[in-house]
Structure 1
Amino acid sequence: MTQRLSKQRRWLAGQGSFARTVIVVATVVAATASAGIYCMVMANESEGTLIVHEWGTFTELQDDTGTPLGGINTDDEPVPEFVHRIHAKLLAPTHKVMPDFGFLSKAIPMNHQQVTMRMETPVLYFYPPAGMGSSLEADVNVSFRGGWISEFYPHAESDAPGLKKMNLSPERVGRLTWRGIQIGAAGTIPETTDPVWTTPRLENPARVVTPEGEAEDYLFYRGVGNFSGPLRVVTDRDANQVRIESRWDELGLPGVPEFTVMWLIEVASDQRLAYRQVTPGAHPAPQVLATVKRGFEETQFALDHKRRLYCEMHDQLCAAGLYPDEATAMLGTWDRAYFQSAGLRLFYLVPRLWTDDRLPLDVTPKQGSIRVATQRVMMGRIELVSDRQRALIEAMKQAPGEFDSQWLQEIPQSPARDKFLRGQSDFGDLGVAIPAYYQNYLDIGRFRNALLQNELQKDPTEALRQFASTHGITPALLVRQEPKPQEQGD
């Protein structure tokens, strides 16, 4: 029990007053659940069952009509360099905004307009049966319908149809196979201090080692896709409402989905947070799950709302099947993206039916007598266009004067420069005069280029065209491009 909580305490130690409240809740939750969890694990172990748990996030950006926007292959949570990538520049760091970055290579636009979905940081944990005299050998296969698995660790066999010509049509199926991994073997994991990588490391899951000798406490992968999620959020700015709709029937998916609790949250630029919990109910239109107030009053924002939201999400993740330390690891990994990055977003638990249809997973032990029990818990995240983002875009559309990128070249390469260009600090310490229009651009947030590309397509101004030309941002012209027959196998 002490080991299981140690990871929670290490992450919460850096959370200030938030930690003092949550550590009590996390400890109580873990303590009350631990007996049942370990009894369940031991029962499965005695029956010769390999338990596999997975968590991850599916992220999309929707406009006011609920239409997913392309060009979201930007990465504000980069993983360490030792992680394997199918293409070195498929994911564009958000701080790369130099004029020569408009196209990363002949065929890769900085914001690939066929990328409408981000599959972010799924990790797989393994709990083998007790009493195994040696490690358990298994093959793990993941298919990604409508997407490419762009990053993974440890080493695996990857297939990304269409990658050569950067054609990610909805019909593509990316695949990843870890063949002959040893579950519970001794191995040396890579050294890193990167929180996005170390936070998911837990005490209890078995270590996995590949035939090539790479090892980790989990299997990691993530990717990009060209498809829509199971929910649409339609914004009515005049009525200050959002309508949350299910797309299940139009997607032609089997079964009846269960959409449980959702959270509509807004994070201010100073990290104060406001949110409301949404419970789907009965509505006249069959596809409508809920209609709720969209905006928040200034008095509804507070720094300490984060702790309450964290606890609500933690409870729901555990109820969906994660162990308490797994839920803590998931929320800790995405702490900045979920709770600190300014913006308006909807979170929901993705129905298992949708995950299994979009992302089939197969774990096959080489010992035929071993059964496999999987638990997959995915968080859906829909980024919406906030009033603040809308105002910043309008300000850029009306910006006076000429745009000159020379000031960017005058900033010396340094950690402070990278931190600024990632939008994590202001320009006060850089020693150069930063134009106000460019600060507005950074303040739009992670998917700023996707939003500006969309604006260039539907309602451009001369000022916006000049800014885009100066900084290498191209209009959104490549959305859902269908492949020619001869390209299907590329």
Structure 2
Amino acid sequence: MFFAAAALLPFLVHASTPGPAADGRAWDGRTRTLHEWGTFVSVQGSDGIALDGLRHHDRDLPPFVHDLAKRGGILALQLKMETPVVYFYAPGTWRLDLDVRFPHGLVTQWWPTAQRVNEPCARGAEVLAEHCARVANLKDGFVSWGRHDDLVILPPDAEVELAPVAADDPWGFARAVASNPLRVARAVEEEGKPTRYELEHERLLFYRGLGDFALPLAVRVRTEERRVDERAGAVRRLGLDLTLARDSAALRGLFVIDVEGDLACFARLGDLAASRAEDLELALRPKADATAELAQAVAAELEHAGLFADEARAMARTWEHAWFGDEGLRVLYVLPSSLVERELPLTVSHGVHQAAGANAWDEAPPESIVRVFVARTEVLTPSKERVLRDTVKQRADGDAKAAEAIAAWGRFAEPWLARVRALEPDPTVRAAAEALLREARARP
């Protein structure tokens, strides 16, 4: 999930449970339920090869979110895990422990306060040096809430004060879901010892990270063309080779999205059970129209995958206001649950539930867990790669505008510069790409 920088003054949110979705799938009001949605983001060259370097984010999270990156020393590899958002549903009060492991990655941001994050490395004990080395290499990350009864899922009708966000911040979209509010107790330490506790309230658990494992789909751009049709107007032609990893389950709900200036187009490609070629001819339309329609189509796909209707709309609306309209070619698809459980296993334990008006606590594990993760692959086309190479060449020749253009590449600077370095035959330009890449990697 990308969250836009606040453009308006923040305000306190007095939160009661939003009403149920007007239509579509919704919580039944009885079943103890956990739902999660999230995204894995990667970059590929036009040949379908994954590119390393996704470390930065181009839109800020709210200031209350905890950020491991502020400690420095984090390098990025193939993937950026974005948005995992966990919602809880229960008819009464529900206490539980929740643990998420990231065997091939590192959790870098989270909210509310977690009991442990990539710990015990952060405590700096010498005996844990081997574990800390693995964490530094983006392995064996994890985040844990609960442990000491400090994660409490409050009743559905509980009213709480939430941390402030701006009125137009997409974080608010994630909150616009009829889930139970929750409470976390954060220990405030003095001289290394907890002296008191402060309560944090939210409608969700959030975490984000960096990882190093392969997604199951490679997208090779075989052909590309832009032409103007007398009847259809601007038309985008794309020839794509979609290669599914041999050990992968089928992929659901593929979308291809292409944005060019103020125009955009998209196509739903359906499910992918085996590798295949796609030849597409898509009419470019005003970007606002195309992305609004895309958000509706993606929300329907997410609901079909198991999310409640308001959760699916929240996820799609967040993307619509964040990156649906960003320049470039990208492919979206729902990841197989087997991959999610392997790369991001989630465990819920020690669950106890107290019904409204009751005194007793009963053992209460979740009765339903649904996790829907989407892969977002940013794909470089041959024409885009030529533009990148030309820009680096101009920068090597001292062109100030080229330097500004490279600075504007933002979070994609590292993978794009790595691609230029790999493609460029001119040793001078290749050396310039290498120097710029070192500069990008040195930035916090």
Category of TM-score, reference length = shorter chain: 0.7 to 0.9
- From 91, 107, 118, the equivalent of 1:159 is 118
Supply the AA of the counterpart residue of 2:162.
I
User: Taking every aligned residue pair, what percent have the same amino acid on both sides?
Assistant: 25
1:85 to 62, 67, 70: 67
Describe the shift of the 1:262–1:85 C-alpha distance in structure 2 as closer, same or farther (beyond 3 A): same
Distance 1:446 1:148 in 2: 18
Superposition pairs for residues 39-58 of structure 1, below 5 Å?
Answer: 41-42=28-29, 45=30, 49-58=31-40
Q: Which one has the bigger strand percentage?
A: 2
Q: 2:364 matched to 1:370? A: yes
Following superposition of structure 1 onto structure 2, how do residues 90-489 of structure 1 map, counting pairs within 5 Å?
Answer: 107-108=73-74, 112=75, 114-128=76-90, 130=91, 132=92, 135-156=93-114, 157-159=116-118, 169=137, 172-179=139-146, 180=149, 181-184=151-154, 187-193=160-166, 195-202=169-176, 204-212=178-186, 213-237=199-223, 241-249=239-247, 257-270=249-262, 272-280=263-271, 287-288=274-275, 290-293=276-279, 299-303=283-287, 304-364=289-349, 365-367=351-353, 369-372=363-366, 373-399=368-394, 402-403=397-398, 435-442=400-407, 444=409, 446-459=411-424, 461-463=427-429, 465-466=431-432, 469=435, 473=439
> Which residue of structure 1 aligns with residue 14 of structure 2?
none
Q: Deviations over 1:61-116 (max 9, x none)?
A: 112332211111120122122111223165xxxxxxxxxxxxxxxx55xxx3x521
1:261 match: secondary structure: strand
Go from structure 1 to structure 2 and tell me whether the alpha carbon gap of 1:182 and 1:300 turns closer, same or farther (over 3 Å shift): same
- Over 3 Å counting, the alpha-carbon distance change for 1:163 and 1:399 in structure 2 is farther
What amino acid sits opposite 2:266 in the alignment?
Y
Name the CA distance, whole Å, in 2 between partners of 1:31 and 1:186. 22
Measure how far apart 1:401 and its partner are. Answer: 6.7
Higher helix share: 1
Separation in structure 2 between the aligned mates of residue 446 and residue 312 of structure 1, nearest angstrom: 27
Q: How many residues align?
A: 373
Question: How far, CA to CA, are the matches of 2:408 and 2:312 in structure 1?
Answer: 30
CA contact 2:221–2:381 (8 Å) conserved in 1: no
Is the 1:58–1:119 Cα contact (8 Å) retained in structure 2? Answer: yes
Letter in 1 for 2:330: R
**Equivalent position of 1:69 in the other structure:** 51
Q: How far did 1:123 drift? A: 0.5
**Unmatched segments (≥5 aa) in structure 1:** 1-26, 91-106, 405-434, 477-490
Distance 1:467 1:148, change over 3 A: closer
CA distance in 1, matches of 2:433, 2:215: 32
Q: How far apart in 1 are the matches of 2:341 and 2:329?
A: 28
Q: CA RMSD in A?
A: 3.2
* Residues 392 and 444 in structure 1, CA contact (< 8 A), matched pair in contact too: no
1:473 maps to a residue whose letter is E
TM-score when normalising by structure 2: 0.75
Write the distance in 2 (CA, Å) between the matches of 1:313 and 1:169: 34
The letter for the 1-side match of 2:286 is A
Deviations 1:217-256 (A, max 9, x none): 100001000111122222324895221122251xxx7xxx
With the length of structure 1 as denominator, give the TM-score of the two structures: 0.68
